[in-house]
Homo-oligomer: A and B are copies of this chain.
Amino acid sequence: MAARKQRVLRLGLPKGSLQQTTERAFKLAGFDLRISGRSYYPDIDDPEIECILIRAQEMARYVQQGVLDAGITGIDWTLENRAKVKELADLRAPWPNYNPVRWVVAVKEGSKIRKPVDLEGKRIATEVVNLTKRYLRQHGVKATVEFSWGATEVKPPVLADAIVDVTETGSSLRANNLRVIDTVLESTPRFIANRESHGDDWKRQKMERIALLLQGAIAAADRVGLMMNVPKPRLEKILGLLPALGTPTISTLADESWVAINTVIAESVVTELLPRLRESGARGIVEYPLNKIVD
């Protein structure tokens, strides 16, 4: 009888700005992932997964080629590389660099370029040459697009007339006295798969479970648990105050005139909700932290 060979999923993790948050995301999802300073092959406590660090810019290329079964990278770089891959999950999350970013056309304050058509005949510096050319085609504009090795935001007006650059809050653009005139693309991190790998049952289930756990951690990231005791006559009213995020668990208590509510709410409504719950009769309100939510 032959030994069963261990099957393995080759997973690309993004080196660079997404790296730290990705490491944290896998830890929150329950994996013991260790990226040591020098190695490009992080350790993970699942023998069925083999990790490799890859630049976000190159990820989609290697996933398409099949060097990797799956990977995490922004939709921007997948499109820039014109890579043909299968998207399994949008990993937008309230974490640094996992928030949506925008690629925008920007010019120096005071520039005469005010709308896309004004770019006609100009020099545009950018790290995403293909995305920019596609954008110009869509607007029927002809312009010179030069690859920028970085520090793109300081190029106008001397080294370029306009740029296509990435921004999360716009603060770097403002600091360089640039004005946004249009958005080329909004991008978030995605969990992408090689098409052939996705056709393999074992690999697809493996990838879907990883996605489920990452999404469970993301769901918990901006929510909290809330327990409280409520007098039975007020139950209806208080349930009405709670947002519809999953059904609250109502359990009976030894003192039968009260019930206990246990629920999950978005952290962003806490400052609004807590004072009202108290005013409506809830007592012993306790907010506690969560690791993961799977509904």
- Tell me the smallest distance from the CB of A93 to a CB of chain B, in Å: 15
With A148-B58, A247-B229, A271-B209 as known contacts, state yes or no: A289 contacts B286, CB within 8 Å: no
Q: Does A158 contact B (CB under 8 A)?
A: yes
Q: Does A259 contact B (CB under 8 A)?
A: yes
Assembled-state Cα–Cα distance A72/B277 (Å): 26
Instruction: Give the size of the chain A interface in residues (CB under 8 angstroms).
Output: 69
- Pairwise interchain contact B212-A30, C-beta atoms closer than 8 A: no
How many copies of this chain?
6
Q: Does A220 contact B (CB under 8 A)?
A: yes
Assembled-state Cα–Cα distance A209/B278 (Å): 11
Q: Does A38 contact B (CB under 8 A)?
A: yes
Assembled-state Cα–Cα distance A110/B295 (Å): 50
Q: Does A162 contact B (CB under 8 A)?
A: no
- Pairwise interchain contact A251-B250, C-beta atoms closer than 8 A: no
Q: Interface with B: A84-92, A95-103, A180-188, A262-270, which one?
A: A262-270
**A209 contacts across to B, CB distance below 8 A:** 271, 275
Q: Does A67 contact B (CB under 8 A)?
A: yes
Indicate the member of A32, A149, A259 with the most B CB atoms within 10 Å. Answer: A149
Q: Does A284 contact B (CB under 8 A)?
A: yes
Q: Which of A1-41 contact B (CB under 8 A)?
A: 15, 29-32, 38, 40
Chain B residue at minimum C-beta to C-beta distance from A283: B295
**A57 contacts across to B, CB distance below 8 A:** 149
- Pairwise interchain contact A225-B275, C-beta atoms closer than 8 A: no
- Tell me the smallest distance from the CB of A162 to a CB of chain B, in Å: 16
**A46 contacts across to B, CB distance below 8 A:** 271
- Pairwise interchain contact B175-A38, C-beta atoms closer than 8 A: yes
- Tell me the smallest distance from the CB of A189 to a CB of chain B, in Å: 17
- Tell me the smallest distance from the CB of A280 to a CB of chain B, in Å: 12
- Tell me the smallest distance from the CB of A241 to a CB of chain B, in Å: 14
A54-B159, A285-B295 known, 6 other contacts, Cβ within 8 Å: A30-B270, A31-B271, A213-B270, A216-B274, A251-B253, A251-B254
